[in-house]
Amino acid sequence: MRQAVYLGMTLFLATESVFFFMLLLAFVYFRQASHGAPDLPLHLAVISTASVLTSCFAMSRARAGKTASQARVWIGAAALFGLIFLLAQWRAYAVLLRDGVTISESLFGTSFFTLTGMHLMNVIAGVLLLAGLDRLAPGNLTALRAAAMFWYFLGAVWCVIFVVVYLGIRV
């Protein structure tokens, strides 16, 4: 059963990868096609990246936790840093909207908000999953590891977005 759960999660993440790849492709395509791009709040993206990496680290500690209560504390920490990521993103959206960058204002906005918005929704689902993990599957190491796979994956997608969207734009 353990093997089945990991394989199932792997296939689910394969589906997710293709989904994000297509949205990223649209973003890159429209960035090439459009003239110029707005200034993005890079400092908020750096905070987001730092909280994602910290959260993934906490998750790896949770996986390695010797007792259930230890694991619970680390999962809580991972969820907390996920929450910080969401706050930083919310702030970044607010800054962009204040500057007039919206989903309908330009193709940059269209593809930027769709890509990051879809990632954001996944992170919200991920935070809820981490928060409810102990209730859904108490003491279940397989479930914990599968949740960790999902969480690492979302972290990796963010890192790609950070590099391509936030850093790539300045090259």
Nearest to 5, CA basis, from 162, 145, 106: 145
CB of 119 to other proteins, least distance (A): 12
Instruction: Please say which residue, 67 or 104, places its beta carbon nearer to other proteins.
Output: 104
Sequence-separated (6 or more) residues with CB below 8 Å from residue 154: 52, 119, 122, 123, 126
Is 34 a binder of other proteins (CB under 8 A)? Answer: yes
Instruction: Please say which residue, 33 or 171, places its beta carbon nearer to other proteins.
Output: 33
For residue 95, give both structure tokens.
């800054």
What mask, x for binding other proteins by CB under 8 A, covers residues 14 to 33? xxxxxx--xx--x--xx--x
CB of 139 to other proteins, least distance (A): 20
CB of 66 to other proteins, least distance (A): 29
Is 134 a binder of other proteins (CB under 8 A)? Answer: no
CB of 110 to other proteins, least distance (A): 4
Binding to other proteins (CB under 8 A) within 55-94 occurs at: none
159-166 contacts at long range (C-beta below 8 A, 24 or more positions apart)? 159/49, 159/52, 160/20, 160/24, 161/24, 161/115, 161/116, 161/119, 162/45, 162/48, 162/49, 164/24, 164/27, 164/28, 165/27, 165/40, 165/112, 165/115, 165/116, 166/40, 166/42, 166/45
Binding positions for other proteins, rule: CB under 8 A: 1, 3-4, 7-8, 11-12, 14-19, 22-23, 26, 29-30, 33-34, 103-104, 106-107, 109-111, 113-114, 118
